[in-house]
Amino acid sequence: MLIHHLVGVLPKDLGGADIDIYILSRSSTSTTRTTFEKYVLGEPETVQIPAGQIISNNNNNSSSRQNGTNYNSVLLDKVAQNDGAITYTGASGATSYAQKNSGVVVATIDGNAPTASLVKSNAYKFWNIGHMYTKGKPQDLAQAFIDYMTSSDALSADSSSIDVNSVNQAAVQSRQ
């Protein structure tokens, strides 16, 4: 299971200047965006962002420029570089990035921080279940990878992953 973070600089709410918010979005094909829309917004993202304010990983593709990026590192760098910037991103690296960059704040949602205990109780809503797929029955190497990814070693190595069996079952059902 993956935990996601809402990351941004909200200057006025933090005692700073009353400046415009600079929204950094993701492409419409992003699973992080889909999770954000469904479980945080409760509806599709409808913010209209001028083309000049959207970042892209591929300047030659106009649809990419219009729809944003899917790279957490690019989004976090843009938040750090732009006063009033806000984005939503996967948990991997967001907290450590914020610790190294004083201009980046990991926001709470409804007063709940993105912690494992708040995800397990479903108080923090920006999370989803990760899935693995194989063509047919997994062969030896694929099965070894699946076994590792579901092991306590893998779960303890990745702070953005939680054993789905430790999450409130009603919360798990709401994601299926």
Model confidence pLDDT, tens digit, residues 132-164: 899 999 999 999 999 998 888 887 776 678 888
Higher-scoring residue by pLDDT: 66, 151: 151
Euclidean distance between the first and the last CA atom of the chain, given in angstroms as a whole number = 12
58-72, 73-87, 108-122: least confident range: 58-72
Overall pTM surpassing 0.95 (yes/no): no
Paired residues of 90 in beta bridges:
4
The burial of 127, by beta-carbon neighbours within 10 Å (0-12 exposed, 13-18 middle, 19 or more buried), is given as: buried
Q: Which fold has domain 1-171?
A: D-Maltodextrin-Binding Protein; domain 2 (3.40.190)
98-117 tens-digit pLDDT: 888 877 888 888 888 888 88
The full 3-state SS of 70-97, as one line of letters, equals CCHHHHHHHHHHCCCEEEEEECCCHHHH
